[in-house]
Amino acid sequence: MYGLMFNSTYLLFALPALLLGLYAQARVRSAYGRYQKVRNRHNITGYEAARRILMVAGLSGVMIQETPGQLSDHYDPRDKSLHLSAGVARSPSVAALGIVAHEIGHAMQDAEAYAPLRVRTGIVPVVQIGSWLGPIVFLLGMLFQTPNLAVVGLVLFSLTAVFALVTLPVEYNASARATRLLATSGLVVSEEEEQGVRAVLNAAALTYLAAAIQAISTILYYVFLLGGFRRRD
């Protein structure tokens, strides 16, 4: 009976966030798949677009490297490098323009010491620890009927929600910068290109929102369990 209630309660908290996450991933695949097939008017690859945008943004010191995987594109502030997947670096698509400009938006944030980016980068080590250690500590606290230990686990895992929430302004700001960069560099010249870039960026933004909601939902579930445990105690 308790196991059934446990599972049902978890679904109550987790299912909406899970469905949103799946929807967000589907949106990303759909937008990327659609606009990866649409050539940009300048017919330049993501790599060529990156070089042009970096020059316009005054970020000539940023290195461009190809990275394995699909949609694995990212900017690494540690060595000031822009990593582009083969599907983006070698493709003259509208989708590639949006992804490249977004990652260069992060490079601009880094160059300007954008506060949310600095906070996110700074808390990465503790978040990596808390994301896997928190649930373990929480479960041990519940099993051994030690509420204080469970609270420690809850606090550790809560760092994932902090990270997800800080990520939101970082990603939305990078997308806003991407739109401006593509306009000022003259790489987007048609309405179709604007729509494609916007579709790709909006779909990606939804995944970060879904991640934040999923983290918060899990925390609320832990709080619910801890509250029920204390009432029984």
pLDDT at residue 15, as a whole number = 85
Is residue 232 scored above 60 in pLDDT? no
Give residue 180's pLDDT: 95
Residue type, 212: A
Which tokens is 92 given?
A: 């003259």
Strands 74-76 and 81-85: antiparallel
Per-residue pLDDT band at 79 (split at 50, 70, 90): very high
Alpha-carbon span 73 to 128, nearest angstrom: 20
Residues taking part in catalysis: 103
Torsion of CA 213, 219, 222, 224, to 10 degrees: -70
Residue 97: pLDDT above 80? Answer: yes
Domain limits at 75? 2-232
Q: Which residues, other chains included, contact 149 with Cβ-Cβ below 8 Å and sequence gap of 6+?
A: 137, 140, 141
Burial class (CB in 10 A: 0-12, 13-18, 19+), 60: exposed
Q: pLDDT tens across 102-127, in order? A: 999 999 999 999 999 999 999 999 99
- Across the range 27-54, mean pLDDT stands at 96
Residue in 216, 217, 221 with CA at minimum distance from that of residue 150: 221
SS3 percent helix, strand, coil of the chain, rounded to 5, is 75, 5, 20
Q: Are 107 and 119 in contact (CB under 8 A)?
A: no
Structure tokens at 168: 């939101």
- Mean pLDDT of all residues belonging to the chain: 91
**How many structural domains compose the chain?**
1
The predicted pLDDT at position 113 comes to 96
Residue 209 has a pLDDT of: 96
Confirm if 120 and 170 have CB atoms less than 8 A apart.
Answer: yes
Tokens found for residue 36: 């990866």
CA gap 29, 53 in Å, rounded:
25
- Pairing label, strands 63-67, 81-85: parallel
